[in-house]
């Protein structure tokens, strides 16, 4: 079956880049029967990746679950540090709430019913944008409120030893990646980008980052922002942030983002008596939902519950 064709919209123009988002509106949506919107950010350590990296379940969701799927670009590190990336998340959310988005989608989407989501580093972005963690530290206004967050195998804290301990080689790589292989991409003064195809040479950046334990440096150097300001569980524990209902899922044997990154956030949410649903999949590794057989029905059931609760 051919993949559905998205509506491609420019949501922001910054530093010479057109930041795009792909929009999939179900055919059943009408002006009198609007559908909720599910905004998803791709992974890649905030260093690589593309809005085109949707999983099969995302592509089937508009027809199967009667929701609008939106997949935005964001500028990539280290050429753009995390304040710029979080600003892009807010800009995408603001655009989805705008008259321009309503007009482009035929006024068939109820953008007041927004769920935000993401996979891996995109899951981290959904935590930050959905709660406001990190925004004040980055000197940014808060994004608009959301009905819920669905985080898939998320990064959540740069202090985890996985991000601070060099691996020569990385546990899942057969060899050490030479510095010269990433030289065109690791220079913060290199050309800014917001799109990295899966088969591009930049696709080695995540693995090199894990190898050299430099994620904090790539995201925060020169900003003066401490990594602790972006640590989801410790920040939520302060009680300073609004916490919408959350769904979190992680694979038990994930070797790209440790499962404890999700567990730590879920533990704090449960301490806070926040509304959270957590699934930990035995024997599942990173990107498990790329399998066409993985339909993520529990996540979409969560989305249906919290959007219908607002009716």
The pLDDT value recorded for residue 62 is 98
DSSP-based three-state secondary structure for 253: coil
**Average pLDDT of 261-290?**
98
The pLDDT value recorded for residue 66 is 97
Mean model confidence pLDDT for the chain = 97
> How far apart, in whole angstroms, are the C-alpha atoms of residue 127 and residue 139?
18
The pLDDT value recorded for residue 186 is 96
- CA dist 206 → 209, 211, 261 (Å): 5, 9, 17
Select from 57, 76, 77 the least CA-distant residue to 67.
57
Q: Is the pLDDT of residue 309 over 80?
A: no
Contact partners, residue 24, CB within 8 Å, separation at least 6? 4, 6, 7, 58, 59, 61, 62, 68, 69, 70
Torsion (CA) 18, 138, 306, 44 in degrees, nearest 10: 60
Torsion (CA) 207, 211, 213, 219 in degrees, nearest 10: -30
DSSP-based three-state secondary structure for 216: helix
Q: Is the pLDDT of residue 136 over 90?
A: yes
Please state whether 49 falls in left (phi above 0), alpha (psi between -120 and 50) or beta. Answer: left
Compute and round to an integer the Cα radius of gyration of the chain.
18
- CA dist 181 → 75, 78, 173, 208 (Å): 21, 16, 15, 9
| Residues comprising the chain, all counted | 311
For residue range 188-223, list pLDDT tens digits in order.
999 999 999 888 999 999 999 999 999 999 999 999
Element (H, E) at 117: strand 109-119
What φ, ψ does residue 92 adopt, rounded to 5°?
-65, -45
pLDDT band at 176 (very low <50, low <70, confident <90, very high): very high
Select from 171, 185, 176, 129 the least CA-distant residue to 154.
129
Q: Is the pLDDT of residue 8 over 60?
A: yes
DSSP-based three-state secondary structure for 242: coil
Q: Are 305 and 277 in contact (CB under 8 A)?
A: no
For residue range 224-234, list pLDDT tens digits in order.
999 999 999 99
Q: Is the pLDDT of residue 42 over 80?
A: yes
Q: Is the pLDDT of residue 301 over 90?
A: yes
Torsion (CA) 70, 75, 77, 78 in degrees, nearest 10: 180
Domains of the chain: 7-308 (3.40.50.1820)
> How far apart, in whole angstroms, are the C-alpha atoms of residue 264 and residue 268?
7
Q: Enter the pTM of the model.
A: 0.98
The pLDDT value recorded for residue 198 is 85
Its sign, for the CA torsion 64, 303, 124, 144, is positive
pLDDT band at 118 (very low <50, low <70, confident <90, very high): very high
For residue range 83-116, list pLDDT tens digits in order.
999 999 999 999 999 999 999 999 999 999 999 9
pLDDT > 90 fraction of the chain, expressed in percent and rounded: 96
The pLDDT value recorded for residue 234 is 98
For residue range 223-272, list pLDDT tens digits in order.
999 999 999 999 999 999 999 999 999 999 999 999 999 999 999 999 99
Q: Are 39 and 93 in contact (CB under 8 A)?
A: yes
The pLDDT value recorded for residue 311 is 52
pLDDT > 70 fraction of the chain, expressed in percent and rounded: 99
> How far apart, in whole angstroms, are the C-alpha atoms of residue 34 and residue 110?
5
Secondary structure letter of residue 153 according to DSSP = S
The pLDDT value recorded for residue 270 is 97
Contact partners, residue 308, CB within 8 Å, separation at least 6? none
Q: Are 25 and 7 in contact (CB under 8 A)?
A: yes
**Average pLDDT of 149-157?**
98
């Amino acid at each position: 079956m051919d993949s559905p064709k998205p509506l491609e919209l420019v949501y922001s123009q910054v530093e010479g880049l057109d930041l795009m988002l792909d929009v999939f509106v179900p055919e059943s949506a009408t002006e009198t029967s609007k559908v909720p919107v599910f905004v998803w950010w791709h992974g890649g350590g905030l260093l690589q990746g593309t809005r085109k990296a949707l999983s099969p379940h995302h592509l089937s969701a508009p027809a199967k679950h009667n929701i609008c799927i939106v997949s935005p670009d964001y500028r990539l590190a280290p050429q753009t540090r995390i304040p710029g990336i979080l600003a892009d998340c807010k800009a995408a959310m603001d655009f989805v709430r705008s008259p321009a988005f309503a007009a482009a989608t035929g006024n068939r989407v109820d953008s007041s019913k927004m769920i935000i989501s993401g996979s891996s580093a995109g899951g981290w972005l959904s935590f930050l944008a959905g709660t406001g963690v990190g925004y004040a530290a980055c000197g940014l206004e808060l994004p608009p409120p959301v009905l819920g967050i669905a985080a898939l195998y998320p990064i959540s804290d740069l202090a985890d030893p996985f991000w601070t301990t060099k691996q020569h080689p990385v546990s899942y790589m057969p060899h050490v990646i030479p510095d010269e292989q990433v030289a065109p991409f690791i220079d913060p003064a290199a050309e800014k980008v917001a799109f990295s195809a899966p088969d591009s040479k930049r696709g080695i950046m995540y693995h090199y980052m894990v190898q050299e334990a430099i994620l904090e440096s790539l995201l925060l150097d020169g900003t003066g922002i401490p990594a602790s300001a972006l640590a989801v569980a410790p920040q939520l524990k302060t009680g300073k942030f609004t916490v919408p209902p959350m769904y979190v899922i992680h694979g038990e044997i994930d070797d790209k983002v440790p499962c404890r990154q999700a567990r730590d956030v879920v533990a704090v949410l449960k301490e806070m008596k926040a509304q959270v649903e957590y699934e930990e999949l035995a024997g599942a590794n990173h990107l498990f939902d790329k399998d066409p057989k993985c339909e993520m029905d529990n996540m979409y059931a969560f989305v249906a519950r919290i959007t219908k609760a607002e009716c």
